[in-house]
Amino acid sequence: MTHTYNHFHEIDRNTETNKHLAEIVESIKANGWQGLPLLADGDNLFNGCHRATACEILDIAPEVHELEITCTWGEDEYTDYLLQNLCDAH
């Protein structure tokens, strides 16, 4: 069983109604994994929701690169602005 990631948008998993997904499933069946790796932070997937869903359907593991996002206070005004907004978010 492959790892299931949280997608940032829902995917219609029915290959009868989702032709784009059906094409990806058939491509992976015929050619194996092609293209860039998926990017994830833990269980959260940042790209390739259709490719990840196709791999789940086929019960194969996609190529996934783990992200690590870091920044520190006082690095620059832009970073401080982003961090302050993240800290203030509810």
- pLDDT tens for residues 35-45? 889 988 888 88
Q: What is the pLDDT of residue 53?
A: 93
Q: What is the pLDDT of residue 90?
A: 42
Chain-centroid distance, C-alpha 36: 11
Residue with tokens 């998926």: 38
- Inter-residue contact 48 to 19 (CB < 8 Å): no
**65-74, pLDDT tens digit by residue?**
887 766 666 6
Give the residue with greater pLDDT, 34 vs 16. 16
- Dist CA 21 CA 9 (whole Å): 14
pTM exceeds 0.75 for this model: no
**pLDDT above 80 (res 87):** no
Give the residue with greater pLDDT, 58 vs 75. 58
